[in-house]
Amino acid sequence: MKLLYFAWLRQKIGVGEETIDLPADIADARGLVTWLKGRGEGYEIAFRDLDAIKLAVNQDYADLDAPVKAGDEVAFFPPVTGG
């Protein structure tokens, strides 16, 4: 699974992109976030306030209940501010 982080999430986690082997017992984005928070202090800080975070699965907006599987591209970022 390819993971992408943008804006301040990227800064707190320390990388913008990484590839992981998704643990077999993780089926949705919420489970993925819980697992990521256990990977280090940067992740724990980045994912502390889940209301402040948006996510996308395979480049479409999704929510924490969205199913995720090996091979997906999952991105986490703050609310967008373009235009």
Binding site for other proteins (CB under 8 A): 4, 6-8, 56, 59-61, 75, 77-83
SS3 81: coil
Q: How far is the CB of 55 from other proteins (least distance, A)?
A: 11
Q: What is the sign of the dihedral through the CA atoms of 33, 34, 38 and 41?
A: positive
Shorter beta-carbon distance to other proteins: residue 70 or 80: 80
Q: Which amino acid is at 44?
A: E
Phi, psi of 76 (to 5 degrees): -120, 140
- Structural tokens at position 47: 């994912």
Neighbours of 50 (CB within 10 A): 13
25 vs 81, beta carbon nearer other proteins = 81
Q: In whole angstroms, how close is the CB of 39 to other proteins at the nearest point?
A: 22
The least distance separating other proteins from the CB of residue 32, rounded to whole angstroms, comes to 18
Residue 23 vs 61, nearer CB to other proteins: 61
